[in-house]
A and B are shown apart, each in its own frame.
Chain A
């Protein structure tokens, strides 16, 4: 049973380009979380999704950011027109159910650098 797979591990984008981050949850997990982590800081919640549904996007900026978790395929975090401030590590986590009643498994993260 493979763990949570994120790709790419490192992504460099120029300002104004689009960044697409992918997350394949663990087999059997239908709950996905996305977090952003700035250097030397904690993890900030962005969005929580179940298959085909966004459950809680309260941590996601209103503009330029979007997330999806289609019926087939990985969850995608999309950042349009990236700016320098988007540079961060983006972690995806999956769990068999939502909330803190069960362990969340994290992927290795995608380190986004905007130049």
Chain B
């Protein structure tokens, strides 16, 4: 069956440092979404990637979808304390409407 790994599980950075989280799939994904969940909050949609090799930017956040559509990454430049939270990649399996969440990467930013 399809397996998607998200790494790292935890990341502690000094404020101002960069941060990257990765999602790697054993099979081709039709598309992938990224969500952020603040501590005590609910998941909030960030972006959707559809095309092979796609790169999208939102201010300090850069999202990439691999050429083979098997991996994706989220990169944050110069982290701020407001970036604290857990970042999830989300996908649907082939022929499924179910949204499956990766295990998430929990980001801590040390001021």
A residues neighboring B (CB under 8 Å)? 31, 33, 35, 41-45, 48, 55-56, 58-59, 91, 93, 98-109
Contacts and interface: CB of A to CB of B under 8 A. Distances in A.
Interface of B: 30-33, 41-45, 48, 88, 90-92, 96-104
A29 B71 CA distance: 30
A33 B45 contact: no
A21 to B, nearest CB: 14
Contact of B42 (A91, A98, A99, A103): A91
A102 B98 CA distance: 12
Contacts of A58: 98
Contacts, number: 64
A35 B102 CA distance: 13
A91 B43 contact: yes
Given A42-B88, A43-B43, A100-B32, A55 B99 contact: no
The residue among A100, A101, A102, A105 with the most chain B CB atoms within 10 A of its own CB is A100
A52 to B, nearest CB: 16
Contacts of A31: 97
B101 to A, nearest CB: 4
A35 B104 CA distance: 15
B56 to A, nearest CB: 14
Given A48-B97, A99-B96, A106-B44, 14 more contacts: A42-B88, A42-B104, A43-B43, A43-B101, A45-B98, A59-B98, A91-B43, A100-B90, A100-B91, A104-B33, A104-B90, A104-B99, A106-B42, A106-B43
A42 to B, nearest CB: 5
B103 A42 contact: yes
The residue among A99, A103, A108, A109 with the most chain B CB atoms within 10 A of its own CB is A99
B98 A48 contact: yes
Contact of A103 (B45, B88, B98, B101): B45
The residue among A43, A58, A105 with the most chain B CB atoms within 10 A of its own CB is A43
Given A43-B88, A59-B98, A107 B42 contact: yes
